Chains A and B, each alone.
Chain A
């Protein structure tokens, strides 16, 4: 083991953090940066609650070694709120579509949906489901989560037209 300095960008802010080279990225985001949206539900990449974006792709941060994040751009749910405290469309949709219950999986789902929402391509409902299938939820039966993502995807595509 060794202490190393990790330089990366987290939610648009450059960071230099002293980490243990055995840390997972989830450890660093939670324990060093206090980003509590990153939840640990299994620690082996099965539940998806710790999903974050690394260079715009979704990863389980629990099975991503923090040392690999060197030079990368990390995004978590905390980064979705703007400077004035306005939340993003997808967060609002989770509220409006009653897609939140216990809330423990919520932030992971939101981050898993980001690559879909930020893509220029169209997604069918089945394709959306496939892209959020790495996240477990035990409260909602996924119905309203899929609705929320689908609705925002539709809105964003319409706004592009």
Chain B
């Protein structure tokens, strides 16, 4: 039995020995290298480009500009293709852009024999722009008469969606309700995977091959085909080990341009390594959001009617379109239910900022920051315990919204565990009425998160398993290992179903679209739930095939044997009849009926389950210096059955760390006039170091989700949701000061503390 055990990662040995090969580790003889010229204005058009000096440089192979590329626009979102034209992703990208929409847009590219030549050539290209006023904020983008960033969106609104449950206007008329209003804001942050975006492309037998660090190889294949205007079957995408993604590689990045650059040099191999500084702005960022929430509440804390207005800063290109903002807006009516009415309006706004796309937990860290901040304000005003007001209003078992269901609910258990760890009740008393420059506080926050994208998008996943002569199996998943441990839990699932040792399950970690069955990729915390079901079904199918052949081999009637402990056994007596290896050998080599035992399964998932959880923190605030010290922090998750406790905890740690950064230090900063990025490097962008990270406590509720393949539901992204609001609420508890804009940087803290005369 493998499920529920802390099986060691199947790829750990390769990774601790340096043998695991990532995209940049493949040695290619005489590969050319490419560099991109990015715009130095945020809004305008390229009038002309002078490449005469660049092409003269020895070692330059080709210089290509926005005037040369095919006139094809393509989408980049890591979404499954939609056959419904209305749901298709917005195709607003070209390989290189004459219409410049953010500081860092791609206007030209150089292919050269070496990296220094490429860099020098890029510097020799002269660009003449016609410059428009940069539109850097949501407010500016919505001003009357502003020149649209995309002609198809004259008001710069990519989309507006809304819902209303119950009659909001009527509901708020009830006498005795107390109204609360709040505005909240979250920043532009970056994934900071340690392996920057990198790919190489070449042609083979008239087809384009792209090797790339991506979460979504099959989607990259489709989009490269779309961008180059060639049949999708003429593209082959290979994904080796990847150095982190966190949603940043759930978008087609520079693969189409890379493929094009190879094409224009006769299919020679071209490597495109995106330097860290460019990677910060010219790939994707997390959507910055602004929220306005209004709540009408009874004095006992029961929510009667609430409404939210939400604006997402899309940046320059559609990427994932409106989906992040829409998802965030939906979460508002999911984690808490109003007694009478809930209303939401969500807007996605184009600006001349870097394109925002997917990032871990897809809009939910943002909305949870707003909602959980708001709830604590209400609790404080009504003098209610922050936990009790949440219990009164939060999601209950069986809740369904938009096709997503609460199949199991461990929220109360999560809260109890968190409370105990942080010593909540005592701390609430201890931290009352503090004075002095150093003050302590406790805070908490809860969340819900869907597992996968059903029913909004297609959920499909495939798995192929092949039986080897020695009774071991190869497992090919379309789903991608990106560091989260997917390959290990898939191996556990197959081992569990077949009842064979985990060492006998060989995961094929590389996805190659020529070989690997289809899967949309790693996102939405869908791997263990959606793709895991494919692994389970494929293993069951394989087991059937194995038993069928064992029946034939042993000349036994159907129905009385089983596969157990690596052997064929008599179901009734448990007697071992032969080994799996014997069946495997016989199947392949017998002269009577040779069969190649394998299973190839597609799972279309038509369910979705809410994953839940909580964070509790205990902090210390140094008021004169504006410093927050996190003394204790715990996340407790209801992710259904925990498939691998140690890896699950590790996944939680990483998410917590990311959320600590989101709370305290991380934000991309841009020049307010020009939109030029100011801190696009790992020194100036403050992701936490080990010295900034306290002990991270990860615990789990004991639940079982009947809709998951093994009782499991989402865990990949959720850990990064609740820490920031919990810290925010702890600052409120410690100082009485409300911080509604993340991150709570020292300067912001000091300014606000002074404003409040602390």
Q: Which residues of A contact B (CB under 8 A)?
A: 22, 30-31, 34-44, 46-47, 49, 76-78, 80-81, 87, 91-92, 94-96, 98-107, 110, 129-130, 132-133, 135-146
Given the contacts A37-B18, A91-B17, A137-B194, A142 and B682 also touching, CB distance less than 8 Å: no
> In the complex, which of the residues A30, A40, A110, A133 contacts B690, with contact meaning CB atoms closer than 8 Å?
A133
Q: Is the interface of B mostly helix, strand, loop or mixed?
A: loop
CB distance from B364 to the nearest CB of A (A): 19
CB distance from A31 to the nearest CB of B (A): 8
Q: A99-B650, A101-B654 are in contact. List 10 more A-B contacts (CB 8 A).
A: A36-B19, A40-B24, A44-B681, A46-B682, A101-B485, A103-B14, A104-B22, A139-B650, A141-B655, A143-B693
Say whether A141 contacts B657, CB under 8 Å: yes
Measured between alpha carbons, how far is A107 from B650 in the docked complex, in Å? 18
Say whether B244 contacts A98, CB under 8 Å: no
B5-56 contacts to A (CB < 8 Å): 6, 8-9, 11-22, 24-25, 27
Given the contacts A103-B15, A107-B18, A138-B194, A41 and B276 also touching, CB distance less than 8 Å: yes
Measured between alpha carbons, how far is A46 from B485 in the docked complex, in Å? 26
- For B243, list chain A residues within 8 Å (CB): 39, 41, 102-105
Say whether B195 contacts A104, CB under 8 Å: yes
- For B647, list chain A residues within 8 Å (CB): 98
Say whether A36 contacts B8, CB under 8 Å: no
Say whether B687 contacts A136, CB under 8 Å: yes
Measured between alpha carbons, how far is A95 from B14 in the docked complex, in Å? 10
Scan B632-676; emit 1 where CB is below 8 A from any A CB, else 0: 000000000000001101110111111000000000000000000
> In the complex, which of the residues A43, A80, A81, A87 contacts B275, with contact meaning CB atoms closer than 8 Å?
A43
Say whether A136 contacts B656, CB under 8 Å: no
Measured between alpha carbons, how far is A98 from B646 in the docked complex, in Å? 7
Say whether A138 contacts B17, CB under 8 Å: no
Say whether B687 contacts A103, CB under 8 Å: no
Measured between alpha carbons, how far is A46 from B689 in the docked complex, in Å? 11
Q: Which residue in chain B gives the minimum CB-CB distance to A135?
A: B690
- For B14, list chain A residues within 8 Å (CB): 103
Given the contacts A91-B17, A107-B18, A146 and B690 also touching, CB distance less than 8 Å: yes
Given the contacts A43-B276, A104-B243, A94 and B483 also touching, CB distance less than 8 Å: no
Asked if B193 is at the interface of the complex by the 8 Å CB criterion, the answer is: yes
- For B689, list chain A residues within 8 Å (CB): 133, 136, 142
Asked if B482 is at the interface of the complex by the 8 Å CB criterion, the answer is: yes
> In the complex, which of the residues B193, B241, B681 contacts A46, with contact meaning CB atoms closer than 8 Å?
B681
Say whether B18 contacts A76, CB under 8 Å: yes
Asked if B196 is at the interface of the complex by the 8 Å CB criterion, the answer is: yes
Say whether B484 contacts A101, CB under 8 Å: yes
B446-491 contacts to A (CB < 8 Å): 482-485
- For A76, list chain B residues within 8 Å (CB): 18
- For A130, list chain B residues within 8 Å (CB): 691
Say whether A143 contacts B696, CB under 8 Å: yes
Scan B320-352; emit 1 where CB is below 8 A from any A CB, else 0: 000000000000000000000000000000000
Say whether A81 contacts B653, CB under 8 Å: no
- For A143, list chain B residues within 8 Å (CB): 650, 653, 693, 695-696
Asked if B290 is at the interface of the complex by the 8 Å CB criterion, the answer is: no
Asked if B429 is at the interface of the complex by the 8 Å CB criterion, the answer is: no
Asked if B683 is at the interface of the complex by the 8 Å CB criterion, the answer is: yes
Say whether A91 contacts B484, CB under 8 Å: no
Say whether B16 contacts A136, CB under 8 Å: no
Say whether A77 contacts B658, CB under 8 Å: no
Measured between alpha carbons, how far is A101 from B483 in the docked complex, in Å? 4
Say whether A105 contacts B276, CB under 8 Å: no
Number of inter-chain CB pairs below 8 Å: 173
Say whether B16 contacts A102, CB under 8 Å: no
CB distance from A151 to the nearest CB of B (A): 14
Scan B266-310; emit 1 where CB is below 8 A from any A CB, else 0: 000000000110000000000000000000000000000000000
Given the contacts A102-B242, A141-B657, A78 and B196 also touching, CB distance less than 8 Å: no
Say whether B653 contacts A106, CB under 8 Å: no
A-B contact pairs, 21 of them (CB 8 A): A31-B27, A34-B27, A35-B18, A36-B22, A39-B195, A41-B195, A42-B681, A44-B681, A98-B646, A101-B484, A102-B483, A103-B241, A104-B194, A104-B244, A106-B16, A107-B18, A129-B690, A136-B194, A138-B194, A139-B654, A142-B657
- For B195, list chain A residues within 8 Å (CB): 39, 41, 102, 104
Say whether A139 contacts B244, CB under 8 Å: yes
Asked if B102 is at the interface of the complex by the 8 Å CB criterion, the answer is: no
Asked if B191 is at the interface of the complex by the 8 Å CB criterion, the answer is: yes
Measured between alpha carbons, how far is A105 from B21 in the docked complex, in Å? 13
- For A30, list chain B residues within 8 Å (CB): 25
Say whether A138 contacts B16, CB under 8 Å: no
CB distance from A141 to the nearest CB of B (A): 3
CB distance from A108 to the nearest CB of B (A): 9
Asked if B246 is at the interface of the complex by the 8 Å CB criterion, the answer is: yes
- For B25, list chain A residues within 8 Å (CB): 30, 36
CB distance from A85 to the nearest CB of B (A): 9
CB distance from A29 to the nearest CB of B (A): 10
Measured between alpha carbons, how far is A139 from B688 in the docked complex, in Å? 12
Measured between alpha carbons, how far is A43 from B21 in the docked complex, in Å? 19
Asked if B192 is at the interface of the complex by the 8 Å CB criterion, the answer is: yes
Measured between alpha carbons, how far is A49 from B244 in the docked complex, in Å? 13
Measured between alpha carbons, how far is A32 from B333 in the docked complex, in Å? 57
Given the contacts A41-B243, A95-B9, A146-B690, A102 and B657 also touching, CB distance less than 8 Å: no
Measured between alpha carbons, how far is A145 from B512 in the docked complex, in Å? 31
Q: Which residue in chain A gives the minimum CB-CB distance to B482?
A: A102
Measured between alpha carbons, how far is A110 from B12 in the docked complex, in Å? 13
Given the contacts A95-B8, A104-B195, A140 and B18 also touching, CB distance less than 8 Å: no
CB distance from A137 to the nearest CB of B (A): 7
Q: Which residue in chain B gives the minimum CB-CB distance to A144?
A: B650
- For A135, list chain B residues within 8 Å (CB): 690
Given the contacts A41-B276, A42-B276, A102-B483, A136 and B658 also touching, CB distance less than 8 Å: no
- For B6, list chain A residues within 8 Å (CB): 98
CB distance from A45 to the nearest CB of B (A): 9
> In the complex, which of the residues A77, A102, A138 contacts B18, with contact meaning CB atoms closer than 8 Å?
A77
- For A94, list chain B residues within 8 Å (CB): 12, 16
- For B484, list chain A residues within 8 Å (CB): 101
Given the contacts A36-B21, A101-B650, A138 and B695 also touching, CB distance less than 8 Å: no
Q: Which residue in chain A gives the minimum CB-CB distance to B246?
A: A138
Measured between alpha carbons, how far is A44 from B279 in the docked complex, in Å? 14
Given the contacts A101-B483, A101-B484, A87 and B16 also touching, CB distance less than 8 Å: yes
Measured between alpha carbons, how far is A138 from B15 in the docked complex, in Å? 16
Measured between alpha carbons, how far is A99 from B696 in the docked complex, in Å? 13
Measured between alpha carbons, how far is A98 from B195 in the docked complex, in Å? 20
CB distance from A114 to the nearest CB of B (A): 13
CB distance from A123 to the nearest CB of B (A): 14
- For B246, list chain A residues within 8 Å (CB): 138
- For B682, list chain A residues within 8 Å (CB): 41-42, 44, 46-47, 136
- For A100, list chain B residues within 8 Å (CB): 9, 11-12, 15-16
Measured between alpha carbons, how far is A99 from B647 in the docked complex, in Å? 9
- For B646, list chain A residues within 8 Å (CB): 98
Measured between alpha carbons, how far is A129 from B692 in the docked complex, in Å? 10
Say whether B275 contacts A140, CB under 8 Å: no
Say whether B244 contacts A102, CB under 8 Å: yes
Measured between alpha carbons, how far is A40 from B6 in the docked complex, in Å? 31
Q: Which residue in chain B gives the minimum CB-CB distance to A31?
A: B27
Say whether A77 contacts B16, CB under 8 Å: yes
Measured between alpha carbons, how far is A41 from B279 in the docked complex, in Å? 11
Given the contacts A44-B276, A49-B194, A78-B17, A98 and B690 also touching, CB distance less than 8 Å: no
Q: Which residue in chain A gives the minimum CB-CB distance to B6?
A: A98
Given the contacts A77-B18, A98-B6, A103-B241, A138 and B653 also touching, CB distance less than 8 Å: no
> In the complex, which of the residues A46, A96, A104 contacts B8, with contact meaning CB atoms closer than 8 Å?
A96
Measured between alpha carbons, how far is A37 from B691 in the docked complex, in Å? 24
Measured between alpha carbons, how far is A42 from B194 in the docked complex, in Å? 8
Say whether B18 contacts A78, CB under 8 Å: yes
